[in-house]
């Protein structure tokens, strides 16, 4: 059975471990469409499988926290990542330390 791009995105996101983050572009590349980072963002925004698919672990290419539609917004996303021991530099996830290497 061939997975759709959306199904691939959710399957990849599900593999991001606690304490790590991935970027929208990274997930797009892993799912076979390197120029579809915005589409990945849309899938995270409309994720029907949270928290099984941990969309809060997906960040911008520079580590910025973006687009979190759950109650509490970006502050809730930041608190969840801090509880999972994701490292930050200022208000951005420190990708040198916390980026997931698939």
Residues designated catalytic: 55
Nearest-CA neighbor of 102 among 41, 13, 38, 5?
13
Which two tokens mark 5? Answer: 């791009």
Q: CA distances (Å), 42 to each of 21, 72, 88, 94, in order? A: 17, 19, 24, 23
């Amino acid at each position: 059975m061939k997975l759709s791009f959306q199904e691939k995105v959710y399957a990849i996101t599900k593999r991001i471990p606690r304490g790590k983050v991935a970027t929208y572009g990274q997930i797009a590349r892993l799912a076979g469409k390197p120029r579809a980072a915005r589409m990945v963002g849309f899938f995270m925004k409309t994720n029907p499988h949270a928290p099984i698919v941990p969309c809060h672990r997906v960040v911008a290419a520079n580590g910025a926290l973006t687009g979190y539609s759950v109650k509490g917004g970006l502050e809730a996303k930041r608190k969840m990542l801090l509880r999972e021991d994701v490292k930050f530099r200022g208000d951005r996830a420190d990708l040198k330390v916390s980026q997931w290497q698939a």
